[in-house]
Amino acid sequence: MPRFYIEADLAVNTTVELTETVFHHWVKVLRAQVGDTATLFNGQGGEFEVELTEVAKKTASVQINHFNPANRRPKFKALLGQVMSKGDRMDYAIQKAVELGVSEIQLLTSERCEMRLKYDRDQKKLDHWQGIAIAACEQCGLNIVPQILAPMPLEKWLASELATTKLVLAPNKNEVDVLANATADLALLIGPEGGLSEAEITAANTQGFVNWCIGERVLRTETAPVVALSILNYKF
């Protein structure tokens, strides 16, 4: 059954007009007809089974028949602090992190950050990344869309109030199992393509972040959150 995110209030036994985006995708692209069913969610929790009841040239309406309260979130809460990267790498990191159940993504700048958003383009780029998160939720079944938060300097984020367990992907010289006592409330820091500097890792450690080294290979900035969140899904 097709799934669509819709910015609208939803309730069982009511009729809702589809937004332009959903209308285009479902009716125009997928050629939906009266009587077809789909799943709608608005990011406030749960999902609704709907039936297409009326189709006009530019609009369509659905009858909401059933509510499913499932959100399909993992058994842990992870705030991802991701230093920004250029091009498709950032899109990929956001898409896969959302599919793997991240709760929120804080975009960061750092010493070796490749990307600096210009003021007049900030909102357009943020809207693009939020759209990627929404599309990922449509695909994977999550019903609460993680927020993509506007970039902030790494040092400012480190000093803010974060999760109970704080992990930074960095060499762990003591080879300690950092997940042994990890709680289900986590903050995860991923550096840029060139990696975090020694000073930045030290600053993170000073704020309570523990170095987490995943194997002997160096992961790309867009691969690291996929691997880390996959391991957390397995642990919890």
Closest CA to 55 of 79, 95, 28: 28
- If one compares 115 and 52, the residue with the highest pLDDT of the two is 52
> For all residues of the chain together, what is the average pLDDT?
94
Q: Which pLDDT score, from 0 to 100, does residue 187 have?
A: 98
Look up the pTM and report it. Answer: 0.92
101-152 confidence digits (pLDDT tens): 999 999 999 998 877 776 556 888 999 999 999 999 999 999 999 999 999 9
Share of the chain above pLDDT 70, in %: 98
| Confidence band for 175, pLDDT divided at 50, 70 and 90 | confident
Q: Is the pLDDT of residue 34 over 80?
A: yes
Per-residue DSSP letter, 121? G
57-95 confidence digits (pLDDT tens): 999 999 999 999 999 999 999 999 999 998 899 999 999
Sequence-distant (6+) residues with CB within 8 A of 26 are 2, 4, 18, 32, 38, 52, 60
Mean of pLDDT values over 176-201: 94
- If one compares 143 and 175, the residue with the highest pLDDT of the two is 143
Closest CA to 145 of 162, 157, 132, 164: 132
Q: Is the dihedral of CA 6, 8, 9, 10 positive or negative?
A: negative
